[in-house]
């Protein structure tokens, strides 16, 4: 599956950490699923212990109902067992994205939402779940 023209993902590996930086346009459930399906392919190809996803994409957040549907679609894609820090580059969207964190944690994912990379890195290294 190749990335739709609406977004791009750049990967960097640092030891047991995979950093994925997303740019472009988001705002639909279809785009979110395409983005995370590509991430899952990279995670399965060379599984990291820690994953930092930096969302620098433009566009609105998903609705809570879409977020629930989105998180349910992630089950079984390969993120289980990976400590995942999600960095939302647009501070006004953090409260919306935190719904996904709640839904994901309820399904057993080790995930947290952050507003900055330094906070996310600290949690990935030392934080409690």
Task: Split the chain (129 residues) into runs of 10 and give each run's mean pLDDT.
Answer: 72 96 93 96 96 96 93 95 96 91 95 96 85
Give me the long-range contacts of 6-15 (CB less than 8 A, separation at least 24).
6/31, 7/31, 7/34, 7/35, 7/57, 9/35, 9/38, 9/39, 9/42, 11/42, 13/46, 13/48
pTM of this structure: 0.92
């Amino acid at each position: 599956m190749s990335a739709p023209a609406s977004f791009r993902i750049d990967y960097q590996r640092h030891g047991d950490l995979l950093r994925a930086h997303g740019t472009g346009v988001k705002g639909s459930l279809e785009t979110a699923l395409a983005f995370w399906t590509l991430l899952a392919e990279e995670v399965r190809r060379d599984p990291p212990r820690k994953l930092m996803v930096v969302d620098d994409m433009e566009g609105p957040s998903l609705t809570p109902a879409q977020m629930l549907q989105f998180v349910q679609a992630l089950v079984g894609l390969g993120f289980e067992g990976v400590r995942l820090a999600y960095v939302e580059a647009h501070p006004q969207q953090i409260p919306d994205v935190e719904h996904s964190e709640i839904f994901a944690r309820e399904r057993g994912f080790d995930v947290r939402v952050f507003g900055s990379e330094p906070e996310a890195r600290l949690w990935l290294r030392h934080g409690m779940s």
